């Protein structure tokens, strides 16, 4: 099963999609795992990647990967490959497809159809606290000429406020509008935090699509590191513009 944002239908050349845990060949709870870094058999991961990207009509050779470190580095890219210590990518090069790996963290996809340019960021609580979504918008504006008021965003499935419990020291790093306190316990709404950052960066509120799914409690559909620990697989999101003609 593959998820796509509703806004993708407006742009025929846009590919924006996210895998789930369904449809893979890996054993046990790994299922459709797309990461080589979680103890899954490499040959199964390779098969899963070929299946996922093949269904989207994307060649593995056209992908850009990032080795995520829960930081706030966003890199403009012009060629396929892999980037170390990176949690955000953007490009205005058609035929280049940017990847993000998640299993509770928030995937934020960005597009300025006027250029066109696309971007994606990996926003766990550390990245969200560091305002990586807003930085992604800023880097696209400064390096690619994107216009924030003309951009559209998709905040994908992630740990939701219903289940995302944190300690007080983490909760204090977020605005009150994104924190639910119940006695001495706290829950953080990472999706709302990223939505607010995108709006502060210049996106219109009606241009931000938010998937309300929770990766922690919707075990049948999503991988979750919070729920499964070392046995958790990883989902992968991808965004890019196909070459015309």
Q: Which domain holds residue 237?
A: 2-160+203-241
Biggest alpha carbon–alpha carbon distance for the chain: 59
Please report whether residue 177 resides in a domain.
Answer: no
pLDDT tens-place string over residues 80-91: 999 999 999 999
pLDDT tens-place string over residues 188-236: 999 999 999 999 999 999 999 999 999 999 999 999 999 999 889 999 9
pLDDT number for residue 245: 62
Please report whether residue 138 resides in a domain.
Answer: yes
Distances (CA, A) of 207 to 6, 23, 51, 109, 195: 11, 31, 31, 12, 10
Please report whether residue 71 resides in a domain.
Answer: yes
pLDDT number for residue 71: 96
| 8 A C-beta contact, residue 17 and residue 238 | yes
Please report whether residue 28 resides in a domain.
Answer: yes
Q: Residue 231 is part of a domain; what is its CATH number? A: 3.60.140.10
pLDDT number for residue 244: 82
pLDDT tens-place string over residues 161-187: 999 999 999 999 999 999 999 999 999
pLDDT tens-place string over residues 120-136: 999 999 999 999 999 99
Angstrom distance (rounded) from CA 205 to CA 191: 13
Q: What is the count of structural domains for the chain? A: 1
pLDDT number for residue 230: 83
pLDDT tens-place string over residues 94-110: 999 999 999 999 999 99
Please report whether residue 219 resides in a domain.
Answer: yes
Angstrom distance (rounded) from CA 85 to CA 106: 17
Please report whether residue 193 resides in a domain.
Answer: no
Residue in 117, 112, 105, 20 with CA at minimum distance from that of residue 71: 105
Mean pLDDT of 72-84: 98
For residue 200, what are its two tokens?
Answer: 């502060």
**pTM for the whole structure:** 0.97
Question: Which residues, 6 or more positions from 236, have their beta carbon under 8 angstroms from its beta carbon?
Answer: 18, 19, 34, 35, 49, 52, 99, 100, 101, 102
């Amino acid at each position: 099963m593959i998820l796509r944002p509703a806004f993708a239908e407006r742009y025929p050349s846009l590919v924006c999609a996210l895998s789930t845990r369904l449809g893979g060949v890996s054993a046990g709870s790994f299922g459709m795992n797309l990461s080589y870094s979680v103890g899954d058999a490499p040959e199964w991961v390779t098969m899963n990647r070929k299946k996922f990207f093949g269904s989207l009509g994307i060649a593995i050779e056209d992908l850009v990967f990032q080795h995520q470190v829960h930081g706030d580095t966003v890199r403009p890219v012009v060629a396929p490959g892999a980037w170390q210590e990176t949690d955000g990518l953007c490009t205005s090069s058609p035929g280049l497809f940017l990847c993000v790996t998640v299993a509770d963290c928030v995937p934020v996809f960005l597009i300025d159809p006027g250029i066109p340019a696309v971007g994606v960021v990996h926003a766990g609580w550390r990245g969200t606290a560091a305002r990586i979504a807003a930085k992604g918008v800023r880097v696209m504006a400064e390096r690619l000429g994107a216009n924030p008021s003309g951009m559209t965003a998709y905040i994908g499935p992630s740990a939701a406020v219903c289940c995302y419990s944190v300690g007080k020291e983490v909760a204090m790093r977020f605005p009150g509008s994104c924190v639910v306190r119940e006695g001495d316990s706290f829950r953080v709404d990472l999706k709302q935090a990223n939505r607010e950052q995108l709006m502060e960066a210049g996106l219109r509120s009606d241009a931000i699509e938010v998937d309300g799914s929770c990766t922690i409690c919707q075990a049948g559909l999503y991988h979750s590191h919070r729920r499964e620990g070392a046995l958790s697989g990883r989902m992968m999101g991808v965004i890019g513009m196909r070459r015309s003609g």
